[in-house]
Structure 1
């Protein structure tokens, strides 16, 4: 039996920032998973049970925020950011590197999941100016 947490009224899709690894992770469900690294930035997360995509991880988020998003969003991350906006900025920054077919498909899958689930980034620590 598979639970559709995204459809639940109590579930609010949120990406979690892990300061120790400077990474942002989103999981639809909490279950055993397989992490498949795509490149230095993106890792896709698949269910061990049926190998379906259940989440993704973005590495170097604080550094990326400071270099690419801070001018637009301010020196402190707002209460929430649409994760779709972050992924779009990542793909624009990486440019041609993302357009290798395997990477393009992986980024598209993460972007599609973030948009469908309406994922936000919350509780990001203050970023020094």
Structure 2
């Protein structure tokens, strides 16, 4: 059973920030999935059925936001942040720590998904202020 995105003019892909686990998660579809940890920051979420990429989770988001993203946004945080911008910062922050080809591929896949789906990050309680 292949799950497809339902096109809706009202649907806006959004990543969810979980303050308790300090993680940002995006799921393209709601379906049974398996989480494959890439490193301390990135986990890919794969379809249980065919192991295709259906989302990802970025850990340590608050630190990344405070150190890298907030200074670029200035004093006024927009209503939303593009997830692709966050993934670019996460990839740059990982920088030379990404040694294995598998890690490079995983970051690239997550970055491509964020860009293709035009995902927004909304409702950043506590860290955006």
Q: Identify the residue that residue 39 of structure 1 maps to in structure 2.
A: 39
Indicate how the Cα distance of structure 1 residues 13 and 122 shifts in structure 2: closer, same or farther if over 3 A, else same: same
**Residues 1:111 and 2:108 aligned together:** no
Q: CA deviation at 1:76?
A: 6.5
Aligned partners of 1:122 and 1:106: how far apart in 2?
24
Q: CA deviation at 1:77?
A: 4.3
- Equivalent pairs counted in the alignment come to 129
Aligned partners of 1:67 and 1:53: how far apart in 2?
28
TM, length-normalised to structure 2: 0.90
2:43–2:56 Cα contact (<8 Å) kept: yes
Aligned partners of 1:6 and 1:25: how far apart in 2?
20
TM, length-normalised to structure 1: 0.90
Q: Identify the residue that residue 125 of structure 1 maps to in structure 2.
A: 125
Please, which moves more after superposition, 36-45 or 91-100?
91-100
**Residues 1:56 and 2:45 aligned together:** no
Aligned partners of 1:88 and 1:125: how far apart in 2?
22
1:36–1:45 Cα contact (<8 Å) kept: yes
RMSD: 1.8
Deviation digits for residues 93-127 of structure 1, max 9, x if unmatched? 11112242010000010011001100110111132
2:81–2:120 Cα contact (<8 Å) kept: yes
Query: Which consecutive residues of structure 1, in runs of 5 or more, have no partner in the other structure?
Result: none
Query: Which consecutive residues of structure 2, in runs of 5 or more, have no partner in the other structure?
Result: none
1:6–1:117 Cα contact (<8 Å) kept: no
1:77–1:125 Cα contact (<8 Å) kept: no
Q: Secondary structure at the match of 1:26?
A: strand
Deviation digits for residues 13-55 of structure 1, max 9, x if unmatched? 1000001000000000111110000001000000111111000
